[in-house]
Amino acid sequence: MCRDHGVYSANEFCKRMIMAIVRCPQHDRSSPNQKHIYSAYSTCPGAVCGISGCQANGRVWLAEDMGEVQAHERGQRVFPVPNSAAVKLRVTDMLVRAEYGR
């Protein structure tokens, strides 16, 4: 049982829930294998864009279809980073909704 999320084991949580991505305004929600709907972002001081070679400050985009936006609205502020069970980001209370596809 995952201590932070209650329902999932750590491995199951990693497989099912880690979808938040970090992108700078230039790269926005771009991802080579994007499979999720990133409809809102929050900020995390020190977060850097996840696009290879980019070192710009990034926004933490949350996946609507994976329940991350709803989790943020319920008060969750810590989100794991894709492909890393050891790294998490603590985002701010700010949540900016963006039109998908822009």
**In 3D, which of 74, 78, 73, 75 has the Cα closest to residue 60?**
78
Specify the DSSP element, H or E, that contains 85: strand 84-90
pLDDT tens, position by position, 28-68: 876 656 778 888 999 999 999 989 999 999 999 998 888 99
Tell me what pLDDT residue 13 has.
43
- Per DSSP, the three-state class of 15 is helix
All structural domains of the chain with their residue ranges:
19-97
pTM of the model: 0.76
Q: Where are the alpha helices (DSSP H) in the chain?
A: 10-17, 68-73
Tell me what pLDDT residue 93 has.
97
Q: Which amino acid is at 74?
A: R
